[in-house]
Amino acid sequence: MIELLQKVRVIDPVSEIDELFDVLITDGYIKAVASHISDISSDTKIRDCQGLVLGPGLVDLYSHSGEPGFEERETISSFLQAAAAGGFTRVSILPDTSPAIDNPALVAQLQQKRRGSLSPLHPCSPTPLLHIWGAITLDVAGKQMTELADLAAAGVVGFTDGKPLENLALVRGVLEYLQPLGKPVAFWPSDRQLTANGVMREGPDALRFGLPPIPASAETTAIAALLELVAAIGTPVHIMRVSTARSVELIASAKAAGLPITASTTWMHLLLDTKAVKSYHTSLHLDPPLGNPRDVVALRAGVRTGVIDAIAIDHTPYSYEEKVQAFAEAPAGAIGLELALPLLWQYLVETEEFTALELWRALSTSPAECLGQKVSAILPHQPAELTLFNPQQTWKVERKSLYTLSQNTPWLGQQLKGHVVQTWC
């Protein structure tokens, strides 16, 4: 198939380009990129793309699938359809399924599920590539190491439990064992004793709303301990779910000292702070919790400067019944694959706090680099792994407009601006 995208805004973090171009795509490859393309065959499909944005396909570092174990929340098929609808061409699922992804047989089973999934957007839109995180510990219970080498041979993208690992001796052993395997390893630093029964970031809003607080030190002390182990052993590490201003400072200092670390925050931690919890909407119960206003300022600055390398979606589906509880009793998490790009664009790019390149880099090339992968530039002869986005198209977030099986989001029922038109992969 041959397609000519005319006058599309090309945002390419690899080439540092944000300009209007014509882009010719032939059989999955970029044939030409120029200010004007007129030398085309008669069977070329011509699309007027004025006002549309074309960038590298989005890459999600980590999210949750319901399947296996909780298919009423999300199946692999619905997860991948939601990802495609959100502009993602690569997604990575966490291993805390039921059973946990702690053996090669389950890795193979899930990859087979991906091959049976269909993309919802367009006859030519592909199913996103599915990457699978292998569990560090058996049943993600934090006690006994899995057969890490066997999981690496089975093709996992890297290793994480997606849960806090509090046994530092185990963390040290994992770092030593993984060093020769050359796979990414990700940790979520959180001291569960300091977290206790808290559900909201400690501060004046937690007092005002009468919710049990979580001190910032629950995160920062765990990050500090992890950084000491990385300094001692030297194994590269990815730090997940960064949510406090002090964490950004610790990571900046560690990077300045040359430690081999990368870091990510989640999209909702960039958009909302503790004031939003006033509604007691259970989809605002997150773990780690939403930060105080100064945390959000620091996280946004961290993403812009590269201290925080990537924005993760951390899509966490739950059924209606699971979320219809008191705020503190509801399970933590919210969906996001179909919502993140429109909302981040609307509230960060259109307000000119972020440039389009800064946002697109944090959602595409940078998360790929955290996984040890590359994203091709939007140049002739490169594979067409692309997302076409309409920043002005409005749509309503409701059950019939979402491909995910769950609706646990504070934006349910609201009009959003920005919609993915098509992906290529």
pLDDT in tens, 289-299: 999 999 999 99
Name every residue whose Cβ is closer than 8 Å to that of residue 152 and which is 6 or more positions away in sequence.
Answer: 134, 181, 183
Burial label, 43 (beta-carbon count in 10 A; 0-12, 13-18, 19+)? exposed
Cα–Cα distance between 377 and 368 in angstroms, integer? Answer: 13
314 is known as an active-site residue: yes
The values of phi and psi at residue 94, to 5°, are: -80, 160
Q: What is the pLDDT of residue 138?
A: 98
Q: How many helices (H) and strands (E) does the chain have?
A: 14, 17
Catalytic residue among 191, 287, 295, 314: 314
State how far the Cα of 67 lies from the Cα of 71, in Å rounded to an integer. 5
Nearest alpha carbon to residue 114 among 134, 90, 85, 147: 90
| C-alpha separations of 208 from 73, 240, 278, 282, 325 in Å | 33, 29, 9, 17, 20
Q: Which tokens hold the place of 409?
A: 């989001």
Q: How far apart are CA 274 and CA 208, in angstroms?
A: 11
CA proximity to 120, closest of 395, 421, 331:
421
355 burial (CB, 10 Å; 0-12 / 13-18 / 19+) is: middle
Q: Is 5 helix (H, G, I), strand (E, B) or coil?
A: strand
Residue 126: its pLDDT value, please? 83
Partners of 186 in the beta sheet? 238
pLDDT of residue 116: 64
Q: Does residue 6 contact residue 22 with C-beta atoms inside 8 Å?
A: yes
Cα first-last separation, the chain: 13
The pLDDT value recorded for residue 151 is 98
Domain covering 57-374+382-417 assigned CATH 3.30.70.1230 in the classification: no
What is the reported pLDDT for 120? 58
Domain limits, CATH 3.20.20.140, in the chain: 57-374+382-417
Three-class SS state of 264: strand
Return the pLDDT at 152.
97
Whole-angstrom CA distances from 344 to 290, 336, 363, 419 are 16, 11, 10, 12
Tokens of 248: 């950004």
Both tokens of 300, joined, read 């946004």
Contact (Cβ atoms closer than 8 angstroms) between residue 247 and residue 240: no
Which residues of the chain register pLDDT less than 70? 116-125
The alpha carbon of 49 is separated from its chain's Cα centroid by a whole number of angstroms, namely: 27
pLDDT (0 to 100) of residue 344: 98
